[in-house]
Amino acid sequence: MIKTIIGLGNPGAAYEKTRHSVGFMVVNALADQYGSTWRPQHNYLVSDIVVGEQKVALIKPQTFMNNSGNIFTYLQKKGIGASDILVVHDELEMPFGRVAVKFGGSARGHNGLKSIMTYIGDQFMRCRIGIGRPLDKDDVSSWVLERFRQDEQAVEVMIKFSVDTIVKEIEKK
């Protein structure tokens, strides 16, 4: 049962609407859809929603991507384990706009996922949001930190589809 959804991204205005912060964009849209607001706690922001009868905490770590896993020390004290979590993140290995939910798997070079896996392993749900890959693999670092291009304006559609996919996943449980 999904009790917590963690959107991955980087905090601060400089990183808003960048490919690497698409996880933040999705949890923001979930909070908006359910009329919830964000409040600071420790080193993250939290917003509570209710989907059907299921209470779900939305979380945005404020430690930058490479330290996203730091949140788990606190979550484990709250009794939240890997099987209770869905992580929303950008995925280079999927074409722009594709959304897929999966359980487990490797980090595939994603530093936010690597950080999380050091705390809880790889046995958690993920909502992978395709951001595509630059032509030159040496451009990956700058690619993920860039804002979406004009020809990628379907971002809002992708975010809405991601929210719908996550709600269906919660309702299945």
pLDDT digits (tens, 9 = 90+) for 93-134: 999 999 999 999 988 889 999 999 999 999 999 999 999 998
Confidence (pLDDT) at 60: 97
Per-residue DSSP letter, 12: S
pLDDT on residue 153: 65
Give the structural domain span for 39: 4-172
What DSSP string runs through 40-89?
Answer: EETTEEEEEEEETTEEEEEEEESS-GGGGGGHHHHHHHTT--GGGEEEEE
Structure tokens at 70: 């730091």
Q: What is the pLDDT of residues 15-42, one digit of tens each?
A: 998 999 999 999 999 999 999 999 999 8
Q: What's the chain's average pLDDT?
A: 92
152 has a pLDDT exceeding 70: no
Domain at 27, CATH number? 3.40.50.1470
pLDDT score recorded for residue 151:
65
Rg (alpha carbons) of the chain, rounded to whole number: 15
pLDDT number for residue 73: 84
Residue 110 catalytic? no
Contact between 63 and 119 (Cβ < 8 Å): no
| Count of domains observed in the chain | 1
CB atoms within 10 A of CB 120: 18
Q: 20, 42, 89, 110: which one is catalytic? A: 20
pTM of the predicted model, to two decimals? 0.94
